[in-house]
Amino acid sequence: MTRIAIVEDEADIASVVQDYLRHAGYETTHFTDGRSALEAIVAAPPDLTLLDVMLPRMDGIEVLRRAREHTAHPIIMLTARIEEVDRLLGLELGADDYVCKPFSPRELVARVRAVLRRTAGPASGSPGAPGSTADGAGDAPGLVLDDVHWRASLEGTPLNLTRREFGLLQVLSRHPGRIFSRARLLELAYDDTVDVTERAIDSHVKNLRRKLGAAAPEHDWIRSVYGVGFAWEAPVPA
């Protein structure tokens, strides 16, 4: 059975989340402070951890930072404010997803499923295996990037991208599932940012998404995270 650790000091939220996850077939354990949660998840990493940011005894950021020295299991951060996500993304802590409060429990369960699916892939003992979703593991399945000539193809179809679109595709697709804020994309995907606004990124993403969709319409490759940014969604291997 898939085990999920819930680290949340607000009893009401924890109990609703616990009910929904159990109903969805997951086994849950609940921690109300950061320090005891860290000890438990390092000693025996669950299949996934839901980690609140504001916690007594040790905050969620510190728990995540320390946990990452020992375990790569998927961790979803629960944050109180959408503005906080931008700050957290900048810290590059290695969380697998962020969910803002208040959230619908149904949406949370969907995100848990998506993260588990995405991180299931090949065992961590086989880095670089086809379909691996680990950071830096290479191009997404079916996607070929030619970094020298800024050319890309998806499932054999040339994408015909502008340099901006290519830069975005490079950053997003090489970190499947990771959410990038517009500010971060501006930093990473654009070598020359003088004339680029964060709004311009939206239109570049829109064009990129349209071109990806034309080449492989059965999948939505780029996920918009409302108020936050964008993430690459690799299709689930058949």
Binding mask 2-31 for Ca ion (x = CB under 5 A): -------x----------------------
Nearer to Ca ion by Cβ, of 28 and 132: the residue is 28
Residue 104 CA to residue 94 CA, distance in Å, equals 24
Q: Are 2 and 109 in contact (CB under 8 A)?
A: no
Task: Give min distance, CB of 59 to Ca ion, in A.
Answer: 9
- Which single residue is written with the structure tokens 């492989």? 216
> Which 145-184 positions form the footprint of Ca ion (CB under 5 A)?
none
Binding mask 111-150 for Ca ion (x = CB under 5 A): ----------------------------------------
Task: Give min distance, CB of 10 to Ca ion, in A.
Answer: 5
Long-range contacts of 163-166 (CB under 8 A, 24+ apart): 164/189, 164/190, 164/196, 164/204, 165/204, 165/207, 165/208, 165/211
- Which single residue is written with the structure tokens 């939505």? 220
Chain residue at closest Cβ approach to Ca ion: 54
Nearer to Ca ion by Cβ, of 70 and 87: the residue is 87
Binding mask 52-91 for Ca ion (x = CB under 5 A): x-x-------------------------------------
Residues that bind Ca ion (CB under 5 A): 9, 52, 54
